[in-house]
Amino acid sequence: MKTDFLQISNGEAIGREKIPHLSFDNFYRNALSIIRVGGKVVHYFAFSDKGKIKLMAVLRKDTLKVASCDAPDVYPSMTSQCEPFHMFEREIAEQYAIRPEGHPWLKMVRYHANFLNRQDVFGNDYTRDIPGNFDYYAVEGQEVHEVAVGPVHAGVIEPGHFRFNCIGERVLNLEIQLGYQHRGVEKMLPGVAPKRLPVIVEGIAGDTAVGYGLCMSQAVEALSSLQADPGAQIIRTIALELERIANHVGDLGALSGDVAFLPPANYFGRMRGDFLNMTLLICGNRFGKGLVRPGGTRFALTEEIRKALNERISELTPQVKHVINLLLTNSSVQSRFDDCGAVTKADAEKLGLVGPAGRACGLPYDVRRCFPTGHYGQLNIPENAKPTGDVHARATVRGEEILQSLEIITTLLSAPVKTRSIENRKLSLAPSSFVVTLNEAWRGELSHCILTDADGAILRYKVKDPSFHNWNGLSMALRDTEISDFPLNNKSFNLSYCGVDL
Amino acid sequence: MIKSIILLGLAILSAPFFSAIILKVKAFFGGKKGPPLLINYYTLLKLFKKGSVYSNSTTFIFKMGPMVSFASALTVLMFLPIAGNNPIVSFHGDVIFVFYLLGLGRFFTIAAALDTASPFEGMGAAREAYFPIICEATMFMVLVYFYKLTGQLTLASYFSGSQPSGLWHLAGAPLFFVIVAIFIVLLTENSRVPVDDPTTHLELTMIHEVMVLDHSGPDLAFIELGSFYKLFFYSTLLGRLIYPFKTQFPVQDLCLFTGSLIAVYGAIGITESVMARFRMDKVPRFVLASFGLVFFATILTMEFIR
């Protein structure tokens, strides 16, 4: 397919002058034509460069493609033609006050004033500090009732508002409103000293600390021509897979608890701790904070630790297998999971679902296989797409991924890992460059994109959490589902609030 | 009579203890130690020491809910033949009175829930009003059945002394169906798994729990106590059917009765441990199965008796 977009690869720094700067019409046409034939949006954001606002899109099909253009103040919305742009256009409208004309649901994402102090697209007054001054999608009719849940929930979880329109127990529409944890991450990142970058990035979404650290480190490495040695890449892979296992195990346990099937809930709860403690053994932090740094890892894997990890893995693997089996073969659990909150493949394509949520709908995309970085190029990641798109599919995908990750870790730990632990080193980023990194974090495609200016300072740091794609998948899953099944569906996705709120 | 009053006192005191057995059984299946057996007393004490908080939007109905449901559950115990002894109060047709007394308690719980004007509580109230309707059909089928067998309409005539063994003589195997049916009603009425999940924190999936979300302190304690008594009531009915005899030795009777109660509570715990709860739209089918069982038992027995 001929396109004016430039083909790039994951984690490769290129000079910004090489990125095609198209006219807006050309940009618009090319972007739509890529998405229409099954392409997906990785990034679509605005940035301001020497007083001019530009738009940049990173799209993926079989390869990654990038192009930019000058941003008009108002432009015809791409979402009205092609759904995957939906959230991205809302984000751009909020951050840079560029109105996509004809956007079907133009609404704030995080409820904050735009970066340029321009006239707000939504006409909000942000000096009042109560977010929530917006309309919700409403269904009219005598029998329709609205149920509002959150942002304060009956549990220690993150804030998010869920607005259900129901007839009796049946959900007609669910709208999810986030933004209650907006911290201004993207506005802050360009200004911070490079030394602080890893610490801040790891804190964006605490349950994906390794994934975030990895994306940032690979991007910074590409920009400063550093290279992590093979040993460090193996440790990073182990840490990322441990993070995946710990979270999937925890979520399967929570799913089990949500249907009141207690034994797996208890066992998985304990095992989640066991896996977190393995990360603790490697780097002294249960969530892997402080492990991944540009240039390598801060901790080497000594023989002693490798032996201990091997022992723990071989002890836990049969237990994990047994409990996954216990959960997924119990008939009463199956009757809850099957056909619950199904998202069709066609809908998943339009929403651009990624990660386990996407794979459960039959989209086999996995960054580890499609755009491998680090050690993943040498691993054989199997496809595990499931066709049904229901809670059962999401649980099964996660269960299988746990076992795959265990296998990967076992393989990696079979031989001694040699690396040198690195401390924070002085970084100088290449000027006028661009890099995008993608990694399969446990929720799916996590991507960071860095643009530097002529002095080598960060001009724009764009973060995209997989949840940014997937929240609307949860909305879709709830259509025509019983409202009492919402917690179960929510847990089967288990999306990040802070990853979206930034 | 004095014996009956002492037994009622014992029941009132020990009902929270039996509920803790369920927690212990569940903890055992989950590979945990579980809370102490006296946990419910600690919880009640804690709640009674607290103050209650009332929302501005509620009225006196909201405050009445806990008291009425507690009082109705307590009154019901007075009609209950505990350990095979005659109950304190008994009259012709008291069974109907008893079940509608429990219904009265539920009515006020629902009214209090609606009084808060919270959408959650409204949903819970709708569910709580729906499922027990089917339970009521089952329980009345059981009464029709027992009335046919004994020709009497009092709880005492079915469950006191060695009467239950008489039922077994008359009915035989179909009484197993009745036991299963009453067990299903017990699970539904007392919001246990697989109908409801008493331990969940997810408002949207709750049935009974969501209706008492707004109650606090002593009010909540009364609700909890009421639910312990209600569970004790249904468990006693089942316990008497499991161990239907009465001997000359009151202590031995009491011990065996306690044993049968522990068996019933243990069975609840095992049920909660080995299965997930049903999807909300499948619950009516499950509850309706109990009606089917009793209905079937009645038809079977009618044929044989004739």
Pairing of strands A14-15, A21-22: unpaired
**Residue-level pLDDT, tens digit, chain B, 306 residues:** 888 999 999 999 999 999 999 999 999 998 889 899 999 999 999 999 999 899 888 999 999 999 999 999 999 999 999 888 889 999 999 999 999 999 999 999 999 999 988 888 888 898 888 888 899 999 999 999 999 888 889 998 898 888 888 888 888 888 999 999 999 999 999 988 888 888 887 888 888 888 888 899 999 999 999 999 999 999 999 999 998 888 888 889 899 999 999 999 999 999 999 888 898 888 999 999 999 999 999 988 877 665
Q: Which residues make Cβ contacts (< 8 Å) with residue B203, sequence separation at least 6?
A: A149, A154, B120, B210, B213
| Torsion angle in degrees (nearest 10) through CA of A293, A299, A300, A304 | -150
Residues of B in contact with A146 (CB under 8 A): 119
Residues of B in contact with A488 (CB under 8 A): 205
Rounded Cα–Cα distance for residues A350 and A35 (Å): 10
B241, B178 Cβ separation under 8 angstroms: yes
A343 to chain B nearest CA, in Å? Answer: 19
Per-residue confidence (pLDDT) for residue A391, from 0 to 100: 92
Residues of A in contact with B205 (CB under 8 A): 258, 484-488
Helix H or strand E encompassing A144? strand A144-149
Residues of A in contact with B29 (CB under 8 A): 262-263
Per-residue confidence (pLDDT) for residue A210, from 0 to 100: 93
Helices (H) and strands (E) in chain A, counts: 16, 16
Task: Tell me which of A144, A169, A261 to substitute to probe the interface with B (most B C-beta atoms closer than 10 Å).
Answer: A261
Rounded Cα–Cα distance for residues B89 and B74 (Å): 13
Among chain A, residues having any CB pair with chain B shorter than 8 Å are: 145-149, 154-155, 168-169, 256, 258-263, 265-267, 270, 330, 332-333, 335-336, 340, 482-488
Give the chain B residue nearest A169 (alpha carbons).
B123
CATH class of A185-501: mainly alpha
Per-residue confidence (pLDDT) for residue B301, from 0 to 100: 85
| Phi, psi at B165, each rounded to 5° | -70, -30
Rounded Cα–Cα distance for residues B160 and B246 (Å): 8
The reported pTM is 0.90
B105 to chain A nearest CA, in Å? Answer: 25
Helix (H, G, I), strand (E, B) or coil at B15: helix
Residues of A in contact with B26 (CB under 8 A): 262
Task: Tell me which of A152, A262, A322, A327 to substitute to probe the interface with B (most B C-beta atoms closer than 10 Å).
Answer: A262
**Residue-level pLDDT, tens digit, chain A, 502 residues:** 577 888 898 888 998 889 898 888 888 888 888 888 888 999 999 998 888 889 999 999 889 999 999 888 888 898 888 888 889 999 999 898 888 888 888 888 888 888 888 888 887 777 776 666 678 888 888 889 888 887 888 778 888 899 999 988 899 999 998 888 889 899 888 888 888 888 999 999 989 999 999 999 999 999 988 888 888 999 999 999 999 999 999 999 999 998 888 889 999 999 999 999 999 999 889 999 989 988 888 888 888 999 999 999 999 999 999 999 999 999 989 998 988 989 999 999 888 899 999 999 999 999 999 899 888 888 888 888 888 989 999 999 999 999 999 999 999 998 888 888 887 677 888 888 999 999 999 999 999 999 998 888 899 999 999 999 999 999 999 999 988 889 899 999 999 999 998 8
Do A482 and B200 lie within an 8 Å CB cutoff? no
A443 to chain B nearest CA, in Å? Answer: 23
Tens digit of each residue's pLDDT (9 = 90 or more) over B151-182: 889 998 898 888 888 888 888 888 999 999 99
Task: Tell me which of A484, A488, A489 to substitute to probe the interface with B (most B C-beta atoms closer than 10 Å).
Answer: A484
A478 to chain B nearest CA, in Å? Answer: 13
Question: In this complex, which of A146, A267, A482 lies closest to B279 when CB atoms are compared?
Answer: A482
Do A336 and B120 lie within an 8 Å CB cutoff? no
Complex ipTM: 0.86
Per-residue confidence (pLDDT) for residue B80, from 0 to 100: 92
Per-residue confidence (pLDDT) for residue A130, from 0 to 100: 63
Question: In this complex, which of B119, B120, B205 lies closest to A487 when CB atoms are compared?
Answer: B205
Residues of B in contact with A266 (CB under 8 A): 30-32
Rounded Cα–Cα distance for residues A432 and A457 (Å): 9
Question: In this complex, which of A260, A266, A270 lies closest to B200 when CB atoms are compared?
Answer: A260
| Torsion angle in degrees (nearest 10) through CA of B68, B70, B71, B72 | 80
Question: In this complex, which of B204, B275, B276 lies closest to A484 when CB atoms are compared?
Answer: B204
Residues of B in contact with A144 (CB under 8 A): none
Do B279 and A169 lie within an 8 Å CB cutoff? no
Do A258 and B273 lie within an 8 Å CB cutoff? no
Helix (H, G, I), strand (E, B) or coil at B167: helix
Per-residue confidence (pLDDT) for residue B198, from 0 to 100: 82
Residues of B in contact with A486 (CB under 8 A): 204-205
Give the chain A residue nearest B121 (alpha carbons).
A147
Quick one: angle between helices B163-171 and B217-242, nearest 10? 60
Per-residue confidence (pLDDT) for residue A114, from 0 to 100: 87
Do A483 and B276 lie within an 8 Å CB cutoff? no
Token couple for A429: 């980023």
Task: Tell me which of B202, B206, B285, B286 to substitute to probe the interface with A (most A C-beta atoms closer than 10 Å).
Answer: B202
Give the chain A residue nearest B199 (alpha carbons).
A260
Instruction: Please tell me the number of Cα atoms within 13 Å of A167 on its side-chain side.
Output: 8
Do A260 and B194 lie within an 8 Å CB cutoff? yes
Residues of chain A with CATH 1.10.645.10: 185-501
Per-residue confidence (pLDDT) for residue A131, from 0 to 100: 61
